[in-house]
Structure 1
Amino acid sequence: MVNRAVLYFLFIVEVFPKGLTSVIQTQQTVMAAVGEDVHLSCQLMESKDVLQVTWQKLSPEGKNKNLATYSKRFGQTVNPGFQGKVEFKDAGLQNCSIVIRKVMEQDEGCYLCLFHTYPDGSLTGRTCLQLYELHEPILQIRESNSTEETVVSCSATGRPAPTVTLNVPQQDLYFSHNSTVSVTNTNGTVTVTTTAVLSGSHENGAQVGCAARLLSVPEIQVFKTIPAVKLFSVLGSTVIVVFVVLACGCVAAVIAVPLKRKYNNSLSHRDSEMNEMNQSNNYRHL
């Protein structure tokens, strides 16, 4: 009699699945990162004569996939296609939960927990798994044409598209001319790049930061120090002028020394010629 009842309820689950019921308590949405283990649970809130609990994954084609079943007679059973991927965490006829190991993109979707009761039929709960992916932002700083401005760019890749925000701890620095570009990658992730011009005066050790946010996931922040070469550029013109003046002075000194020697030699040679001429004139008078 029991075996016939079990076969009967298995038949109506596959052919005549019933709608969802509030009798089963479960999470509507479960958020998980790619590569994590996910825990899905269902609890029957009313006392029923449960013969078996079945876990299924909803299929877009309309034919659900049976993942695992639990009953007192047969215990825990995981279908061959999901062994090593799906495991029971709490196996029970009133409270049943499974673990999906190292979830990937193909694991995303909605799952059903079906409590096959006698004589009421099948009671169904549904929970949907939504995956996210968030990588550490990449922060770049480069020089601009202006000595008082720096171009800051930050890129973050995630799934779905993350929110990227630039920030500066110092009050005398501010961002302007912000622009954001999004690119969808072949693996379904989205790379968001925010670029802005950092203006204002700053001292050595000044930092800029970038924060990447995704849904309710904790944000990821990175910081980077503004290159010291930027500080040099503020005094660059003065240093260059001093350097040019000193260089010109050195060159002038190098050129002046041989000219002075040549001039002195020319004077000495002229004095000698004058002395000889005077002596000749004196001899003629005698």
Structure 2
Amino acid sequence: MNMSGLLSALFLLIIQGSLAQRVRVEPEVVSYPGQSVTLRCQFPNPGENQLTQVSWIFEPTDAERTNIAVFHPNFGANYPTKSPLAGRVHFISDPPTLDNPSIQIEDVKMTDEGRYICEYATYPSGNEQGVSSLIMLAKPNNMANIVTVAAGKTPVIVARCQSSNGRPAATISWSTALNGNATTPTKTDNPDNTVTVQSTYMLAPQPADNGKDISCMVSHRTMSTPENFLMKLVVEYPPQVQIVGYDNNWYRGRTSAFLTCQAKGNPVPTTVTWKTLSGLMPETVQVRENRLTVQKVDDTINTTFICEVGNSLGYGRDQITIFVRDQSPSSSNAGVIAGVIFACLLAIILISVLAYFLVSHNRRQQHGYRGTGKPTGAPYDSFTRLFGSAKSSKNGTGNNGNNNTPIYRGDVGLNEKTANQGMHPGGVALLETTRTHTAEDILLSREMDEVERKKFDELEEEDERYDHFTGVGPILQLRPHEDDIDDDMESQRDGSVISRTAVYV
């Protein structure tokens, strides 16, 4: 066919389509079985054409055309008896007219689905027609069920889902966490023009799959929302057994030791049997259902215990060997260790506090006078060095013979004349209590303050040596007195102050 032929054919199709559109019909009509449906038809603008007759033709999906209703203005309406719709179809208007040849079908069936052609016979244009499609809907009956299976390694059907007698065919889908596969849905056309859809789920079932969720969802045009079927998988298997309760600490004399036989299976286990590998059950053992209790552990418990559990599919068993210890292992010493650590920490804290106070006290003593009790920073002037800070006894030996007051050698501020007066037979200069100190002595003592302060640290190191000195060199020592300094001092006319009872030994 050349190009001109193709163009001619396309032009004819366009003309025919434009002419066909002159007959007005509803392109699609939807109905359900048992209802009544109306098919409308009209030729609104015939123009110069003369309408002579109108006919309705039924064209099934898989069958030939059949006239179901004819109207002629002169001969009236006619309904062929060989029509599959005979007795159920008629024109709406009575009597019918060419202006409104619409028809109504009562008690529609699924087999009534197909194309309905409204055809006008005109003169001189010929026949013109419009086509309406009748779509029959049928809400399906949906169902799903679980298939009880035995555990195994071969894939089998574990669940089915079916949508029956629907129009059009339903859609089936699966939702599950199982590691299986859904089969391709199969469609079966029923005699009443409905469709049945079926799908299955296959899995190699394991005991762990028992009770897991699986759902089937059916979607259809007649349902506003999909219908969901939630199910739980059923997998049967023999009992799985485990003995618990042994803590590896069964020692001689232990009481109330026990073992528990835990078992699960489908169907539920019905029998539990305890026995030993040797065949003899120790006398101290009591068995009650799945619990084995040992009243007192002895050497007869040093054996292997076996628990057997059975259901309708078979038996499962577990065993455990008991080792009886000579004595109870020592209890955990975590508490003892914690107590020791706490005690050590407390001791360290106490020792640290004690050392701190001892060091502080020692430093305060090093910065004050020995035996005076004065804190660091107490006045350290010539009066204290010359006259002491405490009372002396009347015999000049000091309180209780204490020799811890500051010690001065013969060159610490007293002139040679003063040191030689009242020489004690032991080589120590003794200053009589009645001797009056001159202003020269006090001034000389005060001028020595700065030098004494610088040498104070060196003198402290030498104190111990002089405290135990047994030689005969001249030593000047101020004894503490029992009365306060204010009571011991006496003011002179020249403004100086001297001690009443200063004793030098």
Which bin holds the TM-score, normalised by the shorter protein?
0.5 to 0.7
Matched, 1:177 2:181: yes
Task: Please say if residues 69 and 90 of structure 2, whose CA atoms lie closer than 8 Å, have aligned partners that are also in contact.
Answer: no
Task: Please say if residues 114 and 123 of structure 1, whose CA atoms lie closer than 8 Å, have aligned partners that are also in contact.
Answer: yes
Task: Please say if residues 162 and 197 of structure 2, whose CA atoms lie closer than 8 Å, have aligned partners that are also in contact.
Answer: yes
Task: Please say if residues 160 and 200 of structure 2, whose CA atoms lie closer than 8 Å, have aligned partners that are also in contact.
Answer: yes
Task: Please say if residues 169 and 187 of structure 2, whose CA atoms lie closer than 8 Å, have aligned partners that are also in contact.
Answer: no
Q: Which residue of 2 aligns with 1:111?
A: 116
Q: CA deviation at 1:51?
A: 4.5
Q: Which residue of 2 aligns with 1:88?
A: 91
Output one character per residue of 1:103-151: Cα deviation in whole Å (capped at 9) or x when no partner.
335534332212344554432222233445452122112345569xx93
Matches within 5 A, 1:14-33: 21-33=20-32
Task: Please say if residues 140 and 167 of structure 2, whose CA atoms lie closer than 8 Å, have aligned partners that are also in contact.
Answer: no
Q: How many residues align?
A: 224
In structure 2, C-alpha distance between the alignment counterparts of 1:74 and 1:40, rounded to whole Å: 22
In structure 1, C-alpha distance between the alignment counterparts of 2:117 and 2:28, rounded to whole Å: 12
Matches within 5 A, 1:164-203: 164-168=171-175, 173=177, 176-182=180-186, 184=188, 187=191, 189-196=194-201
Output one character per residue of 1:52-101: Cα deviation in whole Å (capped at 9) or x when no partner.
43323348897742524264x666x2426255310223555334321122
Residues 218 and 88 of structure 1: CA distance in aligned 2, closer, same or farther (over 3 Å): farther
Residues 246 and 236 of structure 1: CA distance in aligned 2, closer, same or farther (over 3 Å): closer
Task: Please say if residues 144 and 229 of structure 2, whose CA atoms lie closer than 8 Å, have aligned partners that are also in contact.
Answer: yes
Decide which structure has greater helix share: 1
Structure 1 or 2, whichever has the larger Rg, is 2
Aligned residues with identical type, % of pairs: 21
SS in 1 for 2:87: coil
Give the counterpart letter for 1:84 in structure 2. Answer: G
RMSD: 4.9
SS in 1 for 2:183: strand
Output one character per residue of 1:179-215: Cα deviation in whole Å (capped at 9) or x when no partner.
12425356265433212269999999x77342143xx
In structure 2, C-alpha distance between the alignment counterparts of 1:42 and 1:29, rounded to whole Å: 13
5+ unaligned residues in a row in structure 1: which ranges?
A: 1-17, 254-286
Task: Please say if residues 183 and 201 of structure 2, whose CA atoms lie closer than 8 Å, have aligned partners that are also in contact.
Answer: yes
5+ unaligned residues in a row in structure 2: which ranges?
A: 1-15, 242-261, 275-286, 292-505
TM-score, normalising length from structure 1? 0.55
Output one character per residue of 1:196-248: Cα deviation in whole Å (capped at 9) or x when no partner.
269999999x77342143xx544774444435978x99x9864549x899764
Pick which of 90-99 and 56-65 moved more: 56-65
In structure 1, C-alpha distance between the alignment counterparts of 2:181 and 2:54, rounded to whole Å: 58
Task: Please say if residues 112 and 124 of structure 1, whose CA atoms lie closer than 8 Å, have aligned partners that are also in contact.
Answer: yes
Residues 58 and 192 of structure 1: CA distance in aligned 2, closer, same or farther (over 3 Å): closer
Higher relative contact order (Cα pairs below 8 Å, separated by 6+ residues): 1
Matched, 1:37 2:28: no
SS in 2 for 1:96: coil
Q: Which residue of 1 aligns with 2:71?
A: 69
Decide which structure has greater strand share: 1
Q: Which residue of 1 aligns with 2:58?
A: 57
Give the counterpart letter for 1:210 in structure 2. Answer: M
Q: Which residue of 2 aligns with 1:250?
A: 288
Residues 250 and 63 of structure 1: CA distance in aligned 2, closer, same or farther (over 3 Å): closer
